[in-house]
């Protein structure tokens, strides 16, 4: 099929900030004479997401006029919904010599030249205000808040260019950027596509809600996050192997696409649920699964706060439809996966296993019950946890 995917990118246009061959040559010729800023892993992944259109309509790191209403009202200066700041923060010492209007060389943590910032603003910001509004807490033990408190006090703003789109070092075959995912959806004739986000290994509750969603749309876009996560999260390569197992054995291959989401986790709970939905809209999804405690951490958010936040926007305003699912479990009475909406079981007849309990079992070499995890997936997790 030659037609394009039917859903528009957020803001109306899919952004492309990949340098052309001529631009790259020009930037490289100036590289040794440009002031440098080193990006941490999150900022480097943000640069990539801006460049490939995953963060459309952003064309660079946020200006103050966008940053402030995003923090307070979940909107860009234009009024377009946006829930999480995307900023480049540096120290006063690093910001001081930079001049408005100049090009700034962006290096990754290894010192490699990866992008350019067209510096348009330098501004200070209120870290505590950002923490309370975006993360709903000012406690530095929250991993997202900790990042905000530890980063520099000055935000650099301006359009960016990514020098080159490198193949992912671990998952090149699953690197499907927004322009390509939209093309693949169209080629398959998918008019409606539901996206699924996770930073955790897939288990039976995930599989259940994914397949429930797939009953009502043309295609499922499995899009696990492989950017920076907490040190105690299951590594991305392990999670991807689990998805490969599921694709091989338990999903209809003609109705599911597995791809990586290269962005970093913020652990911003409800705000990040909106953020994740808008990212999947840019990839061409028409629907987005929102389950229990989406993007949550610890006890900072209510079980279904990430679903309720979608109701703060007018119907259709986000341009992507949330599919809200309750916490799934194995029902011993009906011997199926279910939720409280579909199961007659008493609490004693429901098998719930927390991620903490499962990780403890895996470290001990114990296989979680088949009601929680497919046996092939459990075996892969045990192997990884004991390595």
Active site residues: 199-200
Chain-centroid distance of CA 294 in Å reads 11
CB atoms within 10 A of CB 78: 11
Contact 97, 88 (CB under 8 A): no
Burial per residue of 299-309, b for 16 or more beta-carbon CB atoms within 10 angstroms, e otherwise? ebbeebbbbeb
Q: What is the sign, positive or negative, of the torsion defined by CA atoms of 2, 172, 372, 142?
A: negative
> 91 — phi, psi (to 5°)?
-75, 165
Using alpha carbons only, give the angle 52, 40, 270 rounded to the nearest 5 degrees.
Answer: 70
Query: Cα(263)–Cα(52) distance, rounded to whole angstroms?
Result: 11
Q: Of the candidates 43, 158, 156, 153, which has an alpha carbon nearest to the alpha carbon of residue 91?
A: 153
Contact 41, 227 (CB under 8 A): yes
The secondary structure of residue 34, as a DSSP letter, is S
Query: Cα(36)–Cα(62) distance, rounded to whole angstroms?
Result: 19
Q: Is 111 exposed, middle or buried (0-12, 13-18, 19+ CB in 10 A)?
A: exposed
Residues 6+ apart with CB under 8 A from 76: 57, 66, 69, 70, 82
Query: Cα(270)–Cα(312) distance, rounded to whole angstroms?
Result: 11
Any idea which residue has 């699964």 for tokens? Answer: 289
């Amino acid at each position: 099929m030659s037609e394009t995917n039917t859903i528009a990118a957020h803001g109306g246009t899919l952004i492309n900030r990949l340098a052309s061959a001529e631009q790259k040559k020009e930037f490289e010729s100036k590289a040794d004479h440009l002031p440098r800023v080193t990006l941490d892993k999150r900022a480097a992944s943000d640069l990539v997401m801006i460049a490939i259109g995953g963060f459309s309509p952003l064309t660079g790191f946020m200006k103050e006029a966008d940053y402030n209403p995003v923090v307070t009202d979940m909107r860009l200066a234009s009024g377009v919904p946006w829930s999480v700041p995307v900023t480049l923060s540096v120290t006063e010492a690093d910001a001081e010599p930079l001049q408005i209007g100049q090009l700034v060389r962006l290096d990754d943590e290894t010192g490699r030249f990866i992008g350019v910032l067209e510096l348009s603003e330098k501004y200070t910001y209120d870290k505590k205000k950002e923490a309370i509004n975006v993360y709903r807490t000012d406690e530095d033990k929250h991993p997202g808040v900790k990042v905000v408190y530890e980063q520099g006090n000055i935000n650099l703003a301006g359009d960016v260019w990514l020098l080159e789109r490198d193949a992912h070092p671990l998952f090149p075959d699953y690197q499907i950027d927004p322009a390509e995912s939209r093309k693949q959806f169209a080629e398959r004739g998918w008019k409606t596509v539901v996206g699924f986000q996770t930073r955790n290994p897939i288990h039976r509750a995930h599989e259940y809600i994914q397949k429930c969603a797939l009953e009502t749309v043309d295609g499922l876009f499995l899009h696990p996050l492989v950017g920076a996560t907490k040190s105690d999260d299951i590594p991305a390569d392990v999670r991807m192997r689990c998805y490969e197992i599921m694709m091989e054995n338990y999903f209809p291959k003609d109705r599911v696409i597995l791809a990586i989401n290269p962005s970093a986790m913020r652990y911003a709970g409800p705000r990040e649920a909106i953020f994740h939905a808008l990212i999947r809209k840019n990839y061409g999804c028409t629907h987005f699964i929102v389950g229990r405690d989406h993007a949550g951490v610890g006890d900072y958010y209510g079980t279904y706060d990430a679903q309720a936040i979608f109701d703060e926007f007018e119907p259709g305003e986000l341009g992507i439809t949330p599919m809200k699912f309750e916490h799934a479990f194995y029902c011993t009475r009906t011997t199926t996966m279910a939720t409280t909406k579909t199961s007659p079981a008493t609490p004693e007849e429901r098998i719930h296993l927390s991620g903490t309990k499962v990780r403890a079992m895996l470290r001990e070499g114990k296989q979680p019950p088949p009601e929680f995890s497919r046996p092939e997936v459990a075996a892969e997790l045990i192997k990884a946890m004991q390595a």
